[in-house]
Structure 1
């Protein structure tokens, strides 16, 4: 769910031009060091999608393929999550996030379903399993290193996030009740940012790394946003992107 509403498309159009190559290059090295602390390995239903699901971020889905109707029905019956993994030309990403089904908003007569899910736990795909109609995988659940981001860094990230919302003409979002470890995921999940950056963020091993990467990313895209708003104001528009 994007807080930018109708303004999201324009933000996407030039955010997609800003890949933040330095940030991604550096952070990719970090997430490949395999310094995770494993929780448990399990066989998880997998839903490959062209999105990056982040912990704590909602994801509405329309389920229409027979194999995924079967998968979602099983998850509902057994009250278990499924894994959302970004699909790629050569397969799927290495790191994904479990999706908990929060609600079934509509059931169609032909078995299709509209559901609302929310990201929960990150995992690493260890081995794929093709025995069922839908993909499954042996996954290793992951957790962060101990420690949290410095308060001043969180404050800086929140300030930049607020400026982006303001420039886009969107209402500010109250973040005071969000768990500290989820601040970075919420900030990234609430804006239509570059999927490559989101995937990199998903693989980072600490909240400090993620918050610093988000600050760098926001500082990269904001100059273009400010210029766009300035030009529109001068041309007689309302200034919102």
Structure 2
């Protein structure tokens, strides 16, 4: 299935199910959001990487307009719906300041491996311990999917985009597991190094070796 959607390119990756708050201030995007409000339509957020609008993005639903300022700026709440692929960009739309795109929606499987996902979750929690950060997930472990945790494990924007291009949940889980397998040993070594640095210059109570 293909259709035309207004687009709001941003230097972020949005995932299906993700809640995203935005402050709208540019005239073209104030017009875009007003169009979506008036027509009860979603809009697309294609990822921008290295100043280039990428082919993949996520359709988002407008959940709430939280605040409208005197100058027309808005605070809005949105939620990711589904991944799209840009087939053709429509840069000029009659009487509109914003652009649009003709898009298709790739089949996206959400059937993964629960045991593998649990290992990923445990790995993320271990990473957070090493980083000394506290994060909680909104869902119980048994309901967490790869999209729910992808922003919580230190992926670069490019890596987040790679994950967006994987249309099988099991492949996304394996991608996250590989990332953790690379990152965790490095973080553990850094933690060990930090402890060694702390010891440097302090009095040490060390027992002597009896010969």
TM-score, length-scaled by structure 2: 0.83
Tell me the distance in 1 between the aligned counterparts of 2:160 and 2:4.
25
Q: Distance in 2 between matches of 1:118 and 1:226?
A: 35
Q: Residue 46 of structure 1: CA displacement?
A: 0.5
- Poorly superposed stretches of 4+, deviation over 4 Å: 177-180, 233-236
Gap change, CA 1:144 and 1:135, over 3 Å in 2: same
Q: Radius of gyration: which is bigger?
A: 2
SS of the equivalent of 2:106 reads strand
1:102 maps to 2:63: yes
Whole-angstrom CA distance in 1 between matches of 2:157 and 2:149: 14
Q: How many residues align?
A: 195
The answer to whether structure 1 residue 150 and structure 2 residue 103 are counterparts is: no
**141, 144, 147: which one aligns with 2:105:** 141
> Pairwise CA RMSD of aligned residues?
2.2
Note if contact 1:154-1:211 (Cα within 8 Å) is conserved in structure 2: yes
How far the C-alpha of 1:103 sits from its partner, in A, is 2.3
Structure 1 residues 122-168: Cα deviation after superposition (integer angstroms, max 9, x where no partner):
011111112231110111122224x7222221111111111122222
**Distance (Å, rounded) in 1 between the aligned partners of 2:135 and 2:28:** 40
Q: For residues 56 and 109 of structure 1, what CA distance do their matches in structure 2 show? A: 31
1:122 to 2:83 alignment: yes
Q: Aligned residue for 1:85? A: 46
Report if aligned partners of 1:54, 1:189 keep a CA contact under 8 Å in 2: no
Q: Determine whether 1:69 maps to 2:69.
A: no
1:224 to 178, 186, 203: 186
In structure 1, C-alpha distance between the alignment counterparts of 2:71 and 2:132, rounded to whole Å: 40
Deviation at 1:178, TM superposition (A): 7.1
- Gaps of at least 5 residues in structure 2 are 199-211
Partner SS state of residue 137, structure 1: strand
Q: Structure 1: where are the runs of 5+ without partners?
A: 1-39, 237-241
